[in-house]
Amino acid sequence: MDTRSNWHGRKVLITGASGFIGRHLVEQALQAGAIVTTLSRSPANISGVSAHQILDIGDRESVRQAVKKLQPAAILHAASGGITEKAEFSEMLRSNALGTDNVLSAAVAVSEPVSVVMAGSGYEYAAQPRPLSEDDPVFPTSPYGISKAAATFCAANYARRMPITVLRIFNVYGPGERLPRLLPYIVQCAKLGNTAELTACEQIRDFVYVSDVASLFWQALESPPNDGRLRILNIGSGSARPLKAFVCTITRALERQGLKVQVSFGARPYQPGEPMYYAADTRRLQSTLGRLQFKTHDAGIRETLEARV
């Protein structure tokens, strides 16, 4: 059953609406018939949204006023800074940690209880040479991971007063990705006739299609935690494999569309501090939300290319 239908006619606030995952959350909310208000740093340009407010999520009073005016039944908090764009550490803390505190502080003041699902990151964990579980140590080593871990700790402070779920997201792909992410980079090289210069791509990754990730927000919203504690769920398909296999799936899909791309594996060094194994242990996700099905890479990449090429 599609649990999104349960939100027909109900007010939902979505932050980060102009972002990669945020746009898919908005589209799914509108398909469900929810009354959608969005917050983001730039225009979302999605028809059907009842109201869109451009604001700095680090501005506490602006966030408070927006939430107070809407009085939402649920908040999908996908706003996040520093994922792909270059940002100073202080700005990441302001956007991710302070911004989260601003959203949750405003949500506590809503007259009716608000359910919250927010985007976390697998980079909050200490790196391990195996799938990462929710019980693994939180010891981020990147500025982005530190800022997202701080956001999660903020959420824990509010979880006694309203149900909050943090979805720790690992690798996502799909329509709406922007450079310099891997898939759009390879597509750009194919269009321009350039060689795609990559690492040796021996890293282990588990890519999940973006609409599947967005759907998990709704499933988590439909079965909120009721024990007064923050709930954390790691997001992945449970099918980790070498990054090179994912790249080859992309190149084969491009060839089927008449675009051939030359890939030079090993042309670039691995990034300092880049984890060689970065994938989620999904047992808690499956036991909490039920048996989940994810789009195959072949199908997901084909749909992504159809949206881009």
Give the C-alpha separation, 124 to 93, whole Å: 13
pLDDT tens per residue, range 23-49: 999 999 999 999 999 999 888 788 889
Name the band, by pLDDT with cuts 50, 70 and 90, for residue 84.
Answer: confident
Is the per-residue pLDDT at 292 higher than 50?
A: yes
Does residue 73 have a pLDDT over 50?
yes
* Residue range 178-183: mean pLDDT, rounded: 94
Above 70 in pLDDT, residue 2? no
What pLDDT, on a 0 to 100 scale, did the predictor assign at position 41?
87
Q: For position 45, what pLDDT does the model report?
A: 80
Superfamily of domain 3-170+210-236+281-294, CATH level 4:
NAD(P)-binding Rossmann-like Domain (3.40.50.720)
Residue 19 phi, psi (nearest 5): -85, 180
Q: DSSP characters for 42-111?
A: S----TT-SEEEE--TT-HHHHHHHHHHH--SEEEE---SSSSS---HHHHIIIIIIHHHHHHHHHHTSS
pLDDT value, residue 196: 98
Q: Are strands 11-15 and 74-77 parallel, antiparallel or unpaired?
A: parallel
Domain ranges of the chain: 3-170+210-236+281-294
Determine contact, residues 144/91, Cβ cutoff 8 Å: no
Q: What is the pTM of this model?
A: 0.95
pLDDT for 5: 75
CB 51 within 8 A of CB 13: no
CA 33 vs CA 10, 51, 307: distances in Å: 8, 14, 24
Mean pLDDT for the chain?
A: 95
Output the pLDDT for position 3: 64
- Whether the CB-CB separation of 14 and 67 falls below 8 Å is answered with no
Q: What is the pLDDT of residue 309?
A: 56
